[in-house]
Amino acid sequence: MKKFFYCLTSLIVLLLFVSSGVVNAQVVFIEGKSLDYPVEGKNGMVVTGQELATRAGLEVLQKGGNAIDAGVTVGFVMAVTLPRAGNIGGGGFMIVHSAKTGETVAIDYREKAPAKAYRDMFLDKDGNADAQLSRYTHLSAGVPGVIAGFAYALEKYGTISLAEALAPAIKYAEEGFVLNENLVKDFHAAEKNLRAFPATEKIFFKADGSFYEPGDLFVQPELAKTLKLIAQEGPKAFYEGAIAELIVKQMEAHGGLMTKEDLANYQPAIREPIHGTYRGFDVFSMCPPSSGGVHIVQILNILEGFDLRYLGHNSAATIHLMAEAMKRAYADRAEYLGDSDFVDVPLKGLTSKAYAAELRNQINRFKATVSSTLKPGNAPKYESDQTTHYSIVDKEGNAVSNTYTINFSFGSGIVVEGAGFLLNNEMDDFSAKPGVPNAYGLVGGDANAVEPNKRMLSSMSPTIVLNNGKVFLVAGSPGGSLIITTTLQVIMNVIDFGMNIQEAVNAPRVHHQWLPDEVRLEKGIGLDTIKLLTEMGHTVVVRDAMGAASSIMVDPKTGMMYGAADRRREGLALGY
């Protein structure tokens, strides 16, 4: 009877929304299930955080390009149309699955510290971490990796030229695009930083200094010129040619450390992704210098020993176990994780089933562990709020999961004069002083200390899940320290709780990162659940939206693709 009541209620609500003509205007939850449904496609699917980028990516697929062609095109378009996060002045990670070879690889185009960087460069005269230095000065910028990473991906796995991939971005930069309300709000929110440097203010405000308004045409001629130069001359234009000269000139004028040699020496790294299994599925995610894949697999390994479906989605019992697993993983993150080219990271130990069993046995199923008493685990010995993510699958079964960033919204706020693009402030992702939290509250240790030419630790977690060797899920998210747990829960919601991909993305989220010792819950989780968690000893904090998980699921029986844009932020899923 109860089941019949909820079905009837769902039908009535759905009919009301259809009759009012606003069925897509909002997400409605009935017993935790969304009345929104994923976008379907048989031949290809593109899900991004920006409408024009999604449309550009889909057009590439429709013209016969593959997922990698579409992925690089999308990344370039977002550098023009989503300047707070999309970029050519930052870096990121791409997981690529090749249907032909069955290979899944990780392309690491994370930024690097300049060769002149040194351990205590962000400490003041009293030895305290100076956030201003690491976030809003020319010292805050790592050597950008986007151009090198995208060019490599295209050359190795794509079918179109770099110039073809850049063409839509050049068009939007040169001819402009119409600003929507969200992007104008971004300009208002970042006003202080966008007005701090003349070259930045010239781009993001009108000639008279006033704000742009929704409906205005936003043209970026300097960025168009930069993108054209890269299309004509390739990555060398950025790392050795005229663009490199503009970057270095800016650094020399403002006390930055990046040199022409730093730019000329930059290369993306091709790595083996972190691989784990969860209830029979193969999970591939990003390896160090990202902590994402390590801890997604670690948390899944811990939770695999519990019958979560029986306990129920977002029940107090399930959230308690998730929080306990999360806090143990983040404690290990603080101790062990860094750039594996510089420090020994116990990857096999941290991601082993045996280690997960040890951590699982520490968990009291009815009482929270106080984080201050929880130290990083004894992992087996060493073996010899502004990012954007997008997911793409093509008709052949190739897939791209890409997450890239300039760190904060609009990065450092510093535009390279004459080149029209923003520089990242990723140097803040190093541990300026081991034990001191960064901007996302994450505590780091010596493994992530500043060193010359080192890649800073990240939480970005582009992820591809395979079922019997074929793409099943493609996921990832922006969100700083929330990225890991957001991506984790999309996977769990599908595998453990049988949700379709839109339901999995829509569902309220949970987060714990060891320190601060609090369980963060999104709005939508019941007061009774919060009361039970509090009685277990958890400090519960209710937050607004966490993450933005642009995701795809492929039906293993039919091959039908289902795309889900995350309604927490602007985004669009399109298939054909």
On whether 480 is known to bind a ligand per the annotation, the reply is yes
Exposed, middle or buried by CB within 10 Å (0-12, 13-18, 19+), for 232? exposed
- Asked whether residue 210 is marked as a ligand-binding residue, the answer is no
Judge whether 285 is annotated as a binding position.
no
Pick from 308, 290, 338, 292: which is nearest to 485 by CA?
292
CB of 480 closer than 8 Å to CB of 548: no
Taking the C-alpha atoms of residue 437 and residue 125, their distance in angstroms, rounded to an integer, is: 19
405 belongs to an annotated ligand binding site: yes
Query: Which of 387, 388, 403, 487 is labelled catalytic?
Result: 387
Please identify which residue in the block is written with the tokens 């949970």.
510
For residue 493 the two structure tokens come to 């919601």
Q: Which residues of 99-117 are buried (b: 16+ CB within 10 A; e: fewer)?
A: beeeebbbbbbbbbbbeeb
Q: What are phi and psi of 511, to 5 degrees?
A: -150, 135
- CB of 547 closer than 8 Å to CB of 482: yes
What CA–CA distances, in Å, run from 300 to 93, 282, 289, 325, 380? 21, 11, 20, 8, 18
Element (H, E) at 7: helix 2-20
Residue with tokens 């004459």: 418
459 marked among binding-site residues: yes
Q: Residue 318 catalytic?
A: no
The strand order across the sheet containing 551-554 reads: 39-41, 561-564, 551-554, 470-475, 463-467, 281-285, 274-278
Among 476, 465, 458, which residue's Cα sits nearest to residue 547?
476
Q: Is 544 annotated as a binding residue?
A: no
Tokens of 440: 């996302």
Alpha-carbon separation of residue 97 from 42, 76, 556 (angstroms): 18, 20, 16
Helix H, strand E, coil C: the string for 148-167 is HHHHHHHHHHCCCCHHHHHH
Distances (CA, A) of 2 to 6, 7, 31, 89, 372: 6, 9, 11, 55, 44
Rounded distance, CA 481 to CA 80, Å? 26
Q: What percent of the residues of the chain are helix, what percent strand, and what percent coil, each to the nearest 5? A: 40, 20, 45
C-alpha to C-alpha distance for 405 and 412, rounded to whole angstroms: 12
Structure tokens at 35: 């009345």
Extract the annotated binding site: 110, 405-407, 429, 458-459, 480
Positions marked catalytic: 387
Question: Could you tell me which residues are annotated as the binding site for L-glutamate?
Answer: 110, 405-407, 429, 458-459, 480
